[in-house]
Amino acid sequence: MIKNEILGTEITPADKILHIGCGSIPYTALLITNATKTPVTAIDNDPDAIRNAKILIKKTGKNYPLVTLQCADGNDIAVSDFDVIFVSNSVKPKKIILERIISSMKEGARLVYRNPIKIFGLSYDYETVIVKGGKSMKHIKHSFLVLRESIIFEK
């Protein structure tokens, strides 16, 4: 999944990446930086998650100098500096955060977010958050139980 998201965003080492909602196991950040040699700022609003993520990175025995872990909320962080912004599926309030990112991300930046499977109309279809405009929108389909697709929106 992350491999296809990396391919779809066409990340280059010159890009700056933000991952919102990295959790205690910041695999998204580690896989991105391993695959692309690009700096990744990984944030979570739960201080325990950031503490655990730091411990986990230490346990790998590797330094990961390109990964910065920060306790911050996706609703507050300035996104205009970043070239590619990943938003985890369970980030809340997701719709508000996506709308804020879309309005303040820079031209040419890419937003990657995940759409859950629709279960009895209970899940929100986040595709509707995306306003018309932007340069492109790609859909990367998944065959997971809960995740339907990743959407890559380029402003």
Ligand X SMILES: C[S@@+](CC[C@H](N)C(=O)[O-])C[C@H]1O[C@@H](n2cnc3c(N)ncnc32)[C@H](O)[C@@H]1O
Tokens of 70: 């920060």
Q: Encode burial over 107-134: b for 16+ CB neighbours within 10 A, e otherwise.
A: eebbbbbbbbeeeeeeeeebeebbeeee
What is the residue-wise DSSP string for 107-135?
TT-EEEEEEEPP-TT-S--GGGGSPS-SS
Q: Which residue's C-beta sits nearest to ligand X?
A: 21
90, 103, 104, 123: residue in contact with ligand X (rule CB under 6 A): 90
Strands of the chain (E only): list them: 17-20, 40-44, 67-71, 84-87, 110-116, 136-141, 147-154
H or E stretch at 49: helix 47-60
Query: Does residue 116 touch ligand X according to CB under 6 A?
Result: no
91 binds ligand X (CB under 6 A): yes
Tell which one of 3, 7, 25, 123 touches ligand X (CB under 6 A).
25
Q: Which stretch binds ligand X (CB under 6 A): 4-12, 56-64, 85-93, 115-123?
A: 85-93
Least gap, CB of 113 to ligand X (angstroms): 11
Report in angstroms how near the CB of residue 132 gets to ligand X at its nearest. 26
154: contact with ligand X by CB under 6 A: no
- The reply to whether 74 sits near ligand X by the rule CB under 6 A is yes
Residue 88 binding ligand X, by CB under 6 A: yes
- Interface with ligand X (CB under 6 A), residue total 20
Q: Which residues of the shown chain bind ligand X in the complex (CB under 6 A)? A: 20-23, 25, 27-28, 43-46, 49, 73-75, 88, 90-92, 97
